[in-house]
Structure 1
Amino acid sequence: MPVDHAALIALGERLGAQAWPGFLVLLALLTLVAGIAAWGFEHLRRRRAAQPEPGAGLLFGGLAIGAAAVLALAWVFAEVAEGLGNGRPMGLLDETISHSVGVNTPPGVREVFSWLTHLADPITVVLLCTGVAIALWLRGHRGFAAGWVAATVGNALLNHMLKHIFERARPVHDFGFAQVSGYSFPSGHSSGSMVLYGMLGYLGLRMLPARWRVPSVMAATAVIVTVACSRIFVRAHFPSDVLAGLCSGAAWLAICIASIEYARHHRGTDRR
């Protein structure tokens, strides 16, 4: 069925014009949902006995299987990416939204996003990854330290490989809020924030005092949403880049957490 390009352009302009208030609604909604989910996890957790630290062999075995699965999915994503070229439906919608966001977003809002986007810069990721890993190791949580580093480094490698599979150019803009280079799809900041702060939320649920566990997950969710959306507002990425980055990051995060939990469970079983 032929695609109505005029309708796509009209839709993109409307979405871009409402991007700023839409972000605030999305931020509040997803943060609330994350808080409810974390509260439910805490409620179930109190009924279960404590499990030990994850064993490294089981942990990295699970991560290797997960990495292979994510790379296999890249070829499926390639079919979706066919709609991202010039003049194609998804590409046209992306370009229209990006242009409309640039026209309709107040300069002050865009400047704030240009600062917040640094929360997932490579240097921020490296420093936070190193600091948290050292803290976990020194406190005796060596299995969690290994899982934390594997999650962060693994996501960086996966995102690099995915970018070179798709080789999509970045949006063109005429303001200096974001100076970026390299390929655009999927967004490394989006996937990086999902894994980095998602893992921090997970560790918070596992290690923080009870009163801080739910707030830590809500804070992590707020940072993930803000960083991801910032990439659109500073026009470093198209919306589909950000969505793809969040999806790939969420997939890798789920694999990492599942691997850690699997290792913890089976290490506990082996010791009984």
Structure 2
Amino acid sequence: MDFIPFSWVQKIIYFDQLCQHMAESLRHPAAVDFFRLITYLGSPYAFFLIALVVSFFMLRCRMIREVLVLNIVLFLTGRLNDYLKVFFARERPKGEMLTYAAGFSFPSGHAMLATFFYGFLAYLTVKHLGGAKGKGLAFFFLLLILSIGLSRVYLNVHYMSDVIAGFIGGGVMLAIGIAVNEILVRKF
């Protein structure tokens, strides 16, 4: 079997460029507007507002532990992302950004926070609703997470490797959040 004589860094750069070119070739004004809306659902403002509304309803259902875990781990996920961005200090993709983005590129904060936040909501939905409704809503959250990540590449504010790293980081934080929640439920 022949292997491409590139280092893993060169392979990631090639993969990122390939994804960028593919996204550019699929650009359409209506799609840009759609992905701007989707990317907003992964913004800090959206998380603040949605977490506020979700927390209110969860408190009405006496889900105090879940509210605490959701909000504390969401905050910690955001801080971890900030530290990782400064540590890696990767510049954003060249070319026209089709939405606002500031700071460094790696890992994608939208992908990382969306993976934790909407993933935790999917977990709670399956756990507390169950059945077809719970699974359907959890599937919707999964599609939303993937769409938010892809929107960042489509709008040329992240490389695909930034998004994948965000999914991984958010997945780790999701596993921690679920584990903490399960421990709290068993102890209290």
TM-score normalised per structure 2: 0.89
- Residue segments in structure 2 that go unaligned for 5+ positions in a row: none
Q: Given residue 100 of structure 2, which amino acid in structure 1 is its aligned partner?
A: Q
Distance 1:209 1:263 in 2: 20
Q: Is the 8 A contact 1:186 1:242 kept in 2?
A: yes
Q: Please report how far the alpha carbon of residue 250 of structure 1 lies from its aligned counterpart in structure 2 after TM superposition.
A: 0.5
- CA 1:138–1:104: 2 relative to 1, 3 Å: closer
2:108 equivalent to 1:106: no
1:142-161 to 2 correspondences below 5 Å: 142-161=64-83
TM-superposed CA distance for 1:113, in Å, is 1.2
Instruction: Look up the match of 1:234.
Output: 155
Q: 1:139 to 1:97 in 2, by over 3 A?
A: closer
Percent pairwise identity? 25
> 2:31 and 2:61 mapped to 1: Cα distance?
40
CA deviation digits over 1:228-252, x for unaligned, max 9? 1111111110000000000000111
Query: Which of 163, 167, 184 is matched with 1:246 structurally?
Result: 167
Greater CA radius of gyration, 1 or 2?
1
Alignment correspondent of 2:13: 91
After TM superposition, list the pairs within 5 Å mapping 1:132-211 onto structure 2.
Answer: 132-174=54-96, 177-208=98-129, 210-211=131-132
2:114 aligned partner, one-letter code: S
Give the Cα separation in 2 of the matches to 1:180 and 1:96.
Answer: 21
- Which of the numbers 96, 114, 119 marks the counterpart of 2:41? 119
2:115 and 2:145 in contact (8 A); partners too: yes
Deviation, structure 1 residue 2:
6.8
TM-score by length of 1: 0.63
- Look up the SS of the partner of 2:101 in the other structure: coil
C-alpha RMSD of the superposition: 2.1
- Could you tell me which amino acid in structure 2 is paired with residue 126 of structure 1? F
Question: Partners in 1 of 2:22 and 2:137 — Cα distance?
Answer: 34
Gaps of 5+ in 1: 6-79, 268-272
> Residue type matched to 1:225 in 2?
L
CA distance in 2, matches of 1:195, 1:180: 20
Would you say how many aligned residue pairs link Structure 1 and Structure 2?
186
